[in-house]
Chain A
Amino acid sequence: AQSVTQLGSHVSVSEGALVLLRCNYSSSVPPYLFWYVQYPNQGLQLLLKYTSAATLVKGINGFEAEFKKSETSFHLTKPSAHMSDAAEYFCAVSDSGSSNTGKLIFGQGTTLQVKP
């Protein structure tokens, strides 16, 4: 069964510093992986997704993530944090038991705090 682990429920960085949010997955088949961001009282916004086309995936707002099969990781990075990046971030894997499924399995989320 697929699963996702996000290391660190809270991450704090200074404005302008590197953002690194960690995600490890477990999947018996090549996975589809996603990063979503959630601002208070809002839904989930897709940052980027990995669909096996390229291991380095670029997303919106300057975020990117690298798929590393050997490490079963899909960490999210941004070179320079902005105050507006403060939010909760979720890593998710598609339940690939059936490739045409609408089920995502989410990690527990990481709250990113950006200090001025």
Chain B
Amino acid sequence: KAGVTQTPRYLIKTRGQQVTLSCSPISGHRSVSWYQQTPGQGLQFLFEYFSETQRNKGNFPGRFSGRQFSNSRSEMNVSTLELGDSALYLCASSNGDVLPLYGYTFGSGTRLTVV
């Protein structure tokens, strides 16, 4: 079956702009989590959505937001981009009553460069 699909793969934006990233989970998966990966901070959790509801949120400013649609596809938005937002953004999908038991499948990521 198809894996987790993230679009676009690469993105270049200018400081102050906003950006929207998309994640399509594995068919049937209801949980989508987002992570930011940078050389300095490593992998950091942004937020998780389950059945269109945000269940968990990491320690990021309000410029970072997300949503999930009824088909489980998720988008994350970053407004007023800063140079420090340059990163690889990864999403992961999961399912089941206990997500860690089921495991998490990651997409290939979106590489965002802010100039």
Contacts and interface: CB of A to CB of B under 8 A. Distances in A.
Contacts of A99: 98, 100
Interface string A18-60: 0000000000000010101000011111100101000000000
A54 to B, nearest CB: 14
Contact of B92 (A42, A90, A102): A102
A51 to B, nearest CB: 5
Interface stretch (A68-76, A79-87, A105-113): A105-113
Q: Is the interface of B mostly helix, strand, loop or mixed?
A: strand
A61 interface: no
Contact of B90 (A43, A92, A94, A108): A43
B55 to A, nearest CB: 7
B33 interface: yes
A90 B42 CA distance: 10
B106 A36 contact: yes
Size bin of chain B's contact surface: 20 to 34
A44 B106 contact: yes
Contacts of B105: 46
Nearest to A105: B45
Given A102-B92, A106-B42, A109-B42, A51 B100 contact: yes
A43 B104 contact: no
Interface of A: 32, 34, 36, 41-46, 49, 51, 90, 92, 94-96, 98-109
Given A44-B106, A99-B100, A102-B48, 14 more contacts: A34-B103, A43-B90, A43-B107, A44-B92, A46-B105, A92-B43, A102-B55, A102-B94, A102-B99, A104-B33, A104-B104, A105-B45, A107-B42, A109-B42
